[in-house]
Chain A
Amino acid sequence: EAQVTQNPRYLITVTGKKLTVTCSQNMNHEYMSWYRQDPGLGLRQIYYSMNVEVTDKGDVPEGYKVSRKEKRNFPLILESPSPNQTSLYFCASSSGQGIPNEQFFGPGTRLTVL
């Protein structure tokens, strides 16, 4: 089954404790991205990657890191989480080509930083 998986689905942590949210897709997609969803703001892009070893900042990259060592994986790293990073996070992938070229989303990770 074609899918994007994220782990963990739920996480409660404390300020300053480094964490990683994993993302993996099995569709051989080149393009992957991370979004955060906050009430009244919709989804905002954190980072994106157009291919292996190619990553760039989205609209709200502060406090986050990513890496793309393999095509299928795109982990999101919070080196020192803060309460304002409490949010719902989505990983997404797309082929980057063709029509409609919609993004396929993972199930989401609900993060709470105390």
Chain B
Amino acid sequence: AQKITQTQPGMFVQEKEAVTLDCTYDTSDQSYGLFWYKQPSSGEMIFLIYQGSYDEQNATEGRYSLNFQKARKSANLVISASQLGDSAMYFCAMREVEKVHNDMRFGAGTRLTVKP
């Protein structure tokens, strides 16, 4: 069963505007972590931000913030003041801490294009 769902295959945003990338997840575990990675056209995977299931505050890292709504099981990434360099593929991922082998599950990704 799909554990991470990213419903937006592609998104466009005007430079300097904010954009929200959606992510919903499915788990029955109480302890889990949510991650966002950026993949530019060069292909590498860059870790952006993390939210733990027990964290009461939404995570923030510079222009990135995570809008965590636990009851809705959503973990949307918000990028403020978009820049041309933000154009990339973005992946949401989850790790269920109690699982024995501690792996990550990824969504299908959202391709963000920032327009000048």
A and B interact physically:
yes
> B-contacting residues of A (Cβ < 8 Å)?
31, 33, 35, 40-45, 48, 50, 56, 58, 88, 90, 92, 94, 96, 99-105, 107-108, 110
Residues of A contacting B91 in the complex (Cβ-Cβ under 8 angstroms): 42-43
B35 within 8 A of A: yes
Contact partner of B108 (CB less than 8 A), chosen from A40, A102, A108, is A40
Residues of A contacting B52 in the complex (Cβ-Cβ under 8 angstroms): 99-100
B47 within 8 A of A: yes
Contact partner of B102 (CB less than 8 A), chosen from A31, A43, A110, is A31
- Which 3 pairs show the lowest CB-CB distances between chains A and B? A100-B50, A105-B45, A42-B106
> A-contacting residues of B (Cβ < 8 Å)?
4, 6, 9, 33, 35, 37, 43-45, 47, 50, 52, 91, 93, 95, 101-104, 106-109
Evaluate contact between B101 and A110: CB separation under 8 angstroms. Answer: no
Q: CA–CA, A103 to B91, complex, Å? A: 13
14 A-B pairs with C-beta separation under 8 A: A41-B108, A42-B109, A43-B106, A45-B104, A50-B102, A58-B103, A92-B104, A100-B35, A100-B50, A102-B47, A103-B47, A105-B44, A108-B43, A110-B43
A48-B101, A56-B101, A107-B43 are contacts. A102–B106 as well, Cβ < 8 Å? no
